[in-house]
Chain A
Amino acid sequence: EDKVVQSPLSLVVHEGDTVTLNCSYEVTNFRSLLWYKQEKKAPTFLFMLTSSGIEKKSGRLSSILDKKELFSILNITATQTGDSAIYLCAVDHNTNAGKSTFGDGTTLTVKP
């Protein structure tokens, strides 16, 4: 059975802290791993990772994939209250339908 596990499930930090969110997976037909951010409404796309060891970066957020150890991390530096959200990790399957398996998410709360 395909499985995506995120840790921690929740995290509370103060503004300025750096956080690392983890995602491990066991899936058949891996194609890519995606990170999403969900605030009050719909998840929005952050990164897609397909190759090991290549860091993707967007401002204070960065992510990297290890296909040998089957995990990914999402780093957020100098956190701000606007980073408070649920962060979802998903693994995209190598099928025509673009099906993804999602983890349970990490709820990040950044306090002023």
Chain B
Amino acid sequence: DVKVTQSSRYLVKRTGEKVFLECVQDMDHENMFWYRQDPGLGLRLIYFSYDVKMKEKGDIPEGYSVSREKKERFSLILESASTNQTSMYLCASSPSDGRGNNEQFFGPGTRLTVL
């Protein structure tokens, strides 16, 4: 069974705090993704990574950074949290080309509230 785990299900932080969201997958997937999901806005891609130490900006990278030091772990960092970053954050992983379906496997999500 593919497993994608996220470090916290619920998180409450204060404006200006540095926030780390961790994601770990156990299927040796090359690709990993961070999304945020807000009502009426669907899933919006923040950053993704196709290899260790490689990262690419998604559609809404402002205010976020990422780190991928190991293949199985992809971290999302909010350098200085703001109230408009209150959201559900979903991590996902997928294998690279030629290794089966292209579907992404999602973690359970972290609901972050910034006060």
Contacts and interface: CB of A to CB of B under 8 A. Distances in A.
A96 B95 CA distance: 10
Interface in B36-75: 40-45, 48-50, 56, 58
Nearest to B2: A45
Contacts of B56: 97, 99
A101 B43 CA distance: 8
Interface residues of B, number: 29
Interface in A25-51: 31-32, 34, 36, 41-45, 48
B42 A102 contact: yes
B108 A105 contact: no
Given A41-B109, A42-B107, A96-B50, A48 B43 contact: no
B106 A34 contact: no
A49 to B, nearest CB: 11
Interface residues on A, range: 20 to 34
Contacts of B101: 45, 48
B103 A48 contact: yes
A98 B50 contact: yes
Nearest to B93: A98
Interface in B5-63: 31, 33, 35, 40-45, 48-50, 56, 58
Given A88-B43, A99-B45, A44 B106 contact: yes
B112 interface: no
B102 A104 contact: no
B112 to A, nearest CB: 15
Interface of A: 9, 31-32, 34, 36, 41-45, 48, 88, 90, 92, 96-105
Interface of B: 4, 31, 33, 35, 40-45, 48-50, 56, 58, 90, 94-97, 101-109
Closest 10 CB pairs of A and B: A42-B106, A104-B42, A97-B50, A45-B103, A102-B43, A98-B31, A98-B94, A92-B102, A41-B108, A102-B42
